[in-house]
Structure 1
Amino acid sequence: MRHVIALDVGGTGMKAALVGADGTLLHEARRPTGRERGPDAVVESILDFAAELRAHGAAHLGESAAAAGVAVPGIVDAERGVAVYAANLGWSDVPLRDLLSARLGSIPVTLGHDVRTGGLAEGRLGAGRSAARFLFVPLGTGIAGAIGINGVIEPGAHGSAGEIGHIVVRPGGPPCGCGQRGCLERLASASAVSKAWAEASGDPGADAADCAKAVRSGDPRAVEVWQHAVDALADGLLTALTLLDPDTLIVGGGLAEAGDTLFTPLREAVADRVVQFQTLPEIVPAVLGDAAGCLGAGLLAWDLLTPEGPRTDTPITTPTHSPTDAPPEVST
């Protein structure tokens, strides 16, 4: 059965699948990255995992994978297939595409940025499937973005398009690791809300999920923390929609798990900011969860094998069997 390897590399764990031509997930597995052993060990873990997936396909599906797609965090040069930099993995300038191609028997391999790859999946298979133009914004430890246009993700001239987390929404605000002050991700990411609520509640172990629960219970301290984050997020999204004019804003990541606690005030805040010349986009939650990166990697791989251009209508279905590897708790 013809298939491709899809691999999503996170900070501590990797998710993978063998994906059939009709989009069926034929096999799924997870592995730790082994980052505690250093950056070279992470690369070797990726190569070994990919080789295991290739062997599984040959043994159980009758042939080896036809291509492989890999999503990685950090700065990615997709054209050269190089993982330029990833602070949480400790690597720089890793020629991952060439290393994987050599390990996998010279099959075509493509490398993608994790958020843009996740956005590709949400755009073709998930919440943005009916949108000609969308912006995917996951709210996690940080905030990034993926710009989708007609089923394709825009990388930008230098591979950094969509970095909405570093729009300055509060000049002179808290310092950001990028060197600026008042960046969106310092005010509206899940980690920013966790920090603000831990301080406001006096509980150093409190996080964003706890804040959302306290908002629902009517705690005025939580409501204030939450509203500050929502206002900052609305300001950042307003800048994005002014520049990009998307049909749909897709919000994902850990903070989006708060559901209506986030989306109701966020939609109101963005609507209050839209002026006459702007068109209010639909603001919707992402639907693919932590599977988005892996699904997007599979789409990238199939795109390599599709001469007529990117596949925009591939269904993805879950396997009818249980994965052979029970997934551990993985933080990506």
Structure 2
Amino acid sequence: MSSFVVALDVGGTSMKGGLVTRSGEIIHTDRRATPRDRGPAAVVATIRSFIDNLATAGDGTPAGVGLAVPGLVTADAALYSANIGWRDVPAADFVPLDVPVMLGHDVRTGGLAESVLGAGRELSDFLFLPIGTGIAGAVILHGEPYGGSAGWGGEIGHIPVFPEGEPCACGQIGCLETYASASAVARRYSARATSSAAPASPDTVPIASAATTASPTASSPAIAAHPATSPAPASPVTVSTALPAPVTAEQVAALTASGDPLAMEIWGEAVEALSLALATYTLLLDPSAIVLGGGLAEAGPLLSVPLAERLGKRLAFRDAPPLRQAALGMSAGMLGAALLGWRAAGFADAGANWSPDVLKSPRVA
């Protein structure tokens, strides 16, 4: 039996891969772009090539391959991905080697890693909530990700939180993802900052200055910043009155921490949306904790403190579950894929005895 598996986490923008030993040591990592602009066949071909290259970096043939992919997934096939465009791709089509292979949904695979190795290590039931470009959830029940009857379980990003609100790209109205994803926070701040700026001047206008011309509305609750635990303000950012420059959610978080009124309004709406969705989730499934991951969760207490307060107030007759920071960061998908690879190779208990030092293993840049 080989001493390593190939683990690959496929995202819409990039792929993070590595070789992981039976004891959990990451002995090699690499990254490649996901060529989705060239179509699904090109993505499948790139995955095959990447897996082959990763395998040759190890000593011998891998014991198995674990692959985390987006969309509707079974252990044996990638059934559909709107992001990438493939349909009904058998697991074997991704792997040029004659070794066992197991597929997993990208977010649920990250949730599996947090369950076995990370912030949910001692929990049997919790929600893993990565908040990044979009919002998805991994429902962990009895230590295992639950995908539902057809694989759509965990799509918390498309819970309608404001039914009369903004349209979502999915076709629904007022989805959580439209208000609380990192991309939504950045987009909504830029739109309001631009509309607040004077249209006549071709000069750039500092976002903070433009923001002070807008005031929170009764329907858009602002939150107080927590200076003692908030991230330091970002460098001054400018928005052209002719064409807004891209603004990141990280910069909006920094402006929120510095007391910028418009940033606080946008951030407050994101927190409000999250509290509504998580209250519903809590009442349905009674999780022992909610594990926050993804880029927006890197704001730390600036997000978790007001979110915990609002969630607690929404649950009048019971305590809110504690909020935890995800432990594995951007390596969660790849580590989860490694667990799938070892499970494919016949080791159902993979990861159970891995040291917490796995968190110190090399990360994919």
1:28 pairs with 2:23: no
Secondary structure in structure 2 of the residue aligned to 1:127:
coil
1:281 pairs with 2:321: yes
Structure having the higher Rg: 2
Map residues 66-145 of structure 1 onto 2, 5 A cutoff: 66-76=63-73, 78-79=74-75, 81-95=76-90, 97-101=91-95, 103-105=96-98, 107-145=99-137
Between 304-313 and 240-249, the greater mean CA deviation after superposition: 304-313
CA 1:303–1:259 in 2, change beyond 3 Å: closer, same or farther? same
CA 1:125–1:307 in 2, change beyond 3 Å: closer, same or farther? closer
TM-score when normalising by structure 1: 0.89
1:302 pairs with 2:342: yes
1:173 pairs with 2:165: yes
Taking only aligned residues, the RMSD between alpha carbons, in angstroms, comes to 2.1
Q: Distance in 1 between matches of 2:349 and 2:302?
A: 40
CA 1:115–1:322 in 2, change beyond 3 Å: closer, same or farther? closer
Q: Deviations over 1:242-263 (max 9, x none)?
A: 1111111011111111111111
- Equivalence for 1:330: none
CA 1:72–1:297 in 2, change beyond 3 Å: closer, same or farther? same
Secondary structure in structure 2 of the residue aligned to 1:228:
helix
Secondary structure in structure 1 of the residue aligned to 2:57:
helix
- Equivalence for 1:191: 183
Q: Deviations over 1:51-87 (max 9, x none)?
A: 1122222xxx2x21011100011222x14x2222223
Letter in 2 for 1:284: R
CA 1:99–1:317 in 2, change beyond 3 Å: closer, same or farther? farther
Letter in 1 for 2:305: T
Q: Which runs of 5+ in 2 are unaligned?
A: 195-238
Q: Distance in 1 between matches of 2:148 and 2:127?
A: 14
CA 1:281–1:74 in 2, change beyond 3 Å: closer, same or farther? same
Which of 226, 251, 265 is the aligned partner of 2:292? Answer: 251
Secondary structure in structure 2 of the residue aligned to 1:300:
helix
Letter in 2 for 1:45: T
Between 19-28 and 148-157, the greater mean CA deviation after superposition: 148-157
Cα offset for 1:152?
A: 1.1
Cα offset for 1:322?
A: 7.2
Identity of aligned residues (%): 47
Cα offset for 1:237?
A: 0.5
Cα offset for 1:300?
A: 1.1
Contact 1:173/1:181, CA 8 A, preserved across alignment? yes
1:207 pairs with 2:199: no
Q: Distance in 2 between matches of 1:319 and 1:161?
A: 28
1:8 pairs with 2:9: yes
Q: Distance in 1 between matches of 2:152 and 2:65?
A: 23
Map residues 222-261 of structure 1 onto 2, 5 A cutoff: 222-261=263-302
Q: Deviations over 1:102-133 (max 9, x none)?
A: x111x110011110001111111111112121
TM-score when normalising by structure 2: 0.81
Map residues 52-71 of structure 1 onto 2, 5 A cutoff: 52-57=53-58, 61=59, 63-71=60-68
Letter in 1 for 2:26: L
Secondary structure in structure 2 of the residue aligned to 1:120:
helix
Q: Distance in 2 between matches of 1:321 and 1:213?
A: 30
Q: Distance in 2 between matches of 1:22 and 1:180?
A: 45
Between 131-140 and 47-56, the greater mean CA deviation after superposition: 47-56
Letter in 2 for 1:73: P
Contact 2:128/2:138, CA 8 A, preserved across alignment? yes
Q: Distance in 2 between matches of 1:142 and 1:172?
A: 20
Cα offset for 1:191?
A: 1.2
Q: Distance in 1 between matches of 2:314 and 2:358?
A: 40
Cα offset for 1:311?
A: 4.6
Q: Deviations over 1:312-332 (max 9, x none)?
A: 343365699979xx84xxxxx
Contact 2:312/2:319, CA 8 A, preserved across alignment? no
Q: Distance in 2 between matches of 1:244 and 1:222?
A: 33
Cα offset for 1:28?
A: 1.1
Q: Deviations over 1:292-313 (max 9, x none)?
A: 1000000111122346556534
CA 1:149–1:86 in 2, change beyond 3 Å: closer, same or farther? same
Cα offset for 1:285?
A: 1.4
Q: Distance in 2 between matches of 1:129 and 1:319?
A: 13
Q: Deviations over 1:209-256 (max 9, x none)?
A: 111111111111111111111011000011111111111101111111
Q: Distance in 1 between matches of 2:109 and 2:129?
A: 12
Letter in 2 for 1:295: L
Size of the alignment, in residue pairs?
315
